[in-house]
Amino acid sequence: MRCDAMRALLDEHVDGTLEPPASVEVESHLASCPGCRAGERAIRSLKESAAALPEATDPRRDLWEGIATRLGGRKSFLRPALIAASMAAVLAGAGYMALIAPRNLSAPPAAVAVPATAAVPSPSSIPALNGADLAFLEARQELRTALYERKKTFSPETLRQVDQNLRIIENAIEEIRTAVARDPGNRKLQKMLISTRQREVALLRHVTQTADLQSR
């Protein structure tokens, strides 16, 4: 089965609605194609994010409660602020920016350990990352790595354009996230955030699969 045929089937495969023998063919293709495997994981992450949509309201609260529990301390008004300040100082240097910042495809994606739980605070006015954000970032990192590995398929000019377009989407995502943080109950904004993330994943999948097709 070819990668472009997979595109039409991956959603159904993730939903578990694909009948055999198509499901068997998809499994077999996934076993041998890292690009489509990354795409499948990205779809799973996004579906999980979408399913969690109504609960995605105040990521900061989850973070502070989680940290407070781990530290075994009492919650207070000052403690979260202090923790936030110290974590932001560390993450602002490398972690947070490495997680959210658009990266150039000409350089290998930074090996960022995406935290599996809770949220990650962010410097100053940028909203914190919640579980859905992290799932998306993990998927995005995998696809970026897959694309980086295939970058020789494309000309420097094409890579530059792909980079530029990824940056457009990533800036859009950050802008919407900031708007969601200001208006957390706004479902239209939340839907727009998921939809824009889906577009980035779709772009990464599209370019990665195009590279796979070209190299066969």
Partner 1 sequence: MKTKTLTRPLAALLTLAMGAGAAAAQVQIDKRRPASPAGQVRIDDSFGSIKVIGTDGKEVAVSGRLAAGAEGLEFDGDRQEISIDVRTPEAWSYGSEDDTDYRSDLEVRVPKGSSIEVRSLNASITITGVDGTVNAETVNGNISISGNPKSAQVNGVTGKIEISAASAEMQVENVSGPVILKGAARGAEVTTTSGSIDVAGRDLERVELKSTAGDIRFEGSFKGDGGVSIENFSGNVQLVVPAEAAARFKLSTFSGVIDSAMGLKPTRNARRSPYMELRFSTAETDFDVSVETYSGNISLRKMGEGKPGAAVAPAKKEGTE
Site pattern 19..48 for partner 1 (x: CB under 8 A): ------------------------------
Q: Does 74 bind partner 1 (CB under 8 A)?
A: no
Q: By CB under 8 A, what part of segment 2-21 binds partner 1?
A: 4
Among 172, 174, 181, 184, binds partner 1 (CB under 8 A): 172
Q: Does 199 bind partner 1 (CB under 8 A)?
A: yes
- What is the nearest approach in angstroms of partner 1 to the Cβ of residue 191? 9
Secondary structure in 3-state letters for the chain? CCHHHHHHHHHHHHHCCCCCCHHHHHHHHHHHCHHHHHHHHHHHHHHHHHHCHHHCCCHHHHHHHHHHHHHCCCCCCHHHHHHHHHHHHHHHHCHHHHHHCCCCCCCCCCCCCCCCCCCECCCCCCCCECHHHHHHHHHHHHHHHHHHHCHHHCCHHHHHHHHHHHHHHHHHHHHHHHHHHHCCCCHHHHHHHHHHHHHHHHHHHHHHHHHHHHCC
- The first and second tokens of residue 174, run together, are 């950050």
C-beta closer to partner 1: residue 117 or 178: 178
Q: Does 188 bind partner 1 (CB under 8 A)?
A: yes
- What is the nearest approach in angstroms of partner 1 to the Cβ of residue 203? 6
Among 158, 190, 194, 208, binds partner 1 (CB under 8 A): 158
Q: Does 104 bind partner 1 (CB under 8 A)?
A: no
Q: Does 154 bind partner 1 (CB under 8 A)?
A: yes
C-beta closer to partner 1: residue 104 or 161: 161
- What is the nearest approach in angstroms of partner 1 to the Cβ of residue 186? 6
Q: Does 114 bind partner 1 (CB under 8 A)?
A: no
> Which residues lie near partner 1 (CB under 8 A)?
4, 152-158, 161-162, 164-165, 168-169, 172, 175-176, 179, 183, 186, 188-189, 192, 195-196, 199, 202-203, 206-207, 210, 213-214
